Structure 1
Amino acid sequence: MIELKPAQIPDIPLLWSLRTRAVRQVCASHYSPEQIEVWSDSPPPESYLRLLATGCGLVAQEDGQLLGYAILDRQSGEVMALFVEPDQLGRGIGKRLMQGLEAIAEEEHFTRLYLYSSLNAADFYRAMGFVAVRDEPYAHPSGITLRSLYMERVRTTG
């Protein structure tokens, strides 16, 4: 059974390793090999320390195995990350993680969530109720620019 648990600071290396596999295997269908190389070789952002310390991250596990993770910035309502182990795609893990982020958003009384979606993930986010507002270059911390979609979802409450 898939369980959601809070992500902890010591989890960062495992989370980042999963993210790197996802970038290399899943994002490669929409970005150049050069972009994938720079993107996947970048280190974890320092913001992960703050975000995980304030309870913004979730991990999906099954029998102790990490299947995916997601991070929501409690200050802004931005979905900072949502990655699923590439060989586990299609099992509803991303949906479960997004539902977990929704619970955090509910605690914070957010009326809107937003994110910058990689091109390969846009259909997933559309299925989760997000709407593409604009095609926007994303200035990745590694120094490259990635084509992305700025997407929003208005939350219904009550």
Structure 2
Amino acid sequence: MQFRAGTIDDVATLWALRTRCVRETCSSHYPAEVIAPWSASPPPSQYARLLGQGGCVVAEDEQGVLLGFGVFDADANEVDALFVDPDRGGQGIGQALMQRLLAMADRGREVVLSASLNAVPFYRRQGFISVGEAAYPHPSGVALASVSMRRPW
């Protein structure tokens, strides 16, 4: 496994993996009427900014095949996204990406994130603590049940 910084040129490929993850892994915790608009939404405008600032880590295999990616918003000290190919889950890819995202964080502040319901156990294993449940107002118009989390140092 190798890692590199994601670039603006990667947005379409990364978003395709994110869409697949929403459809395949989030469907265990969300109904179809939420998955459909959520998975059909376009990349958020902030991705160009975050990737342009070096806030994206891409994991690939030795042949350059995408395994997963993570996005970190340094201004908010927030893990914005972390997705792993559903066929490659449980192989340490997510943990390796998280370590690289946390290396971007300001250690003087807690790292925060908004977790999808299916991802909460993963984030807990990475040292995040649940703060409370929330309804994230997704740009697609659906209210996504989520869990606000923080990670103290």
TM-score tier by shorter-chain length is over 0.9
Matched to 1:59, the amino acid is V
In the alignment, what sits opposite 1:143?
141
Matched to 2:69, the amino acid is Y
Q: Structure 2 stretches of 5 or more lacking a match?
A: none
Q: Structure 1 stretches of 5 or more lacking a match?
A: none
In the alignment, what sits opposite 1:111?
109
In the alignment, what sits opposite 1:32?
31
SS at match of 1:149: strand
Aligned-residue offset at 1:118 = 0.3
In the alignment, what sits opposite 1:101?
101
Q: Which runs of 4+ in 1 moved over 3 A?
A: none
SS at match of 1:115: strand
In the alignment, what sits opposite 2:122?
124
After superposition, the C-alpha distances for 1:44-86 in whole angstroms (9 at most, x for unaligned) are 0010000000010000011201100001101111110000000
> Does the CA-based 8 Å contact 1:133-1:151 persist in structure 2?
yes
Aligned-residue offset at 1:111 = 2.6
Structure 1 Cα separation of the partners of residues 26 and 85 of structure 2: 12
SS at match of 1:31: coil
In the alignment, what sits opposite 2:44?
45
Q: Percent of counterpart pairs with the same letter? A: 47
Structure 1 Cα separation of the partners of residues 8 and 48 of structure 2: 6
In the alignment, what sits opposite 1:80?
80
Superposition RMSD on alpha carbons, in Å?
0.8
Aligned-residue offset at 1:110 = 4.2
TM-score by length of 1: 0.94
Structure 1 Cα separation of the partners of residues 108 and 26 of structure 2: 29
SS at match of 2:33: helix
SS at match of 1:45: coil
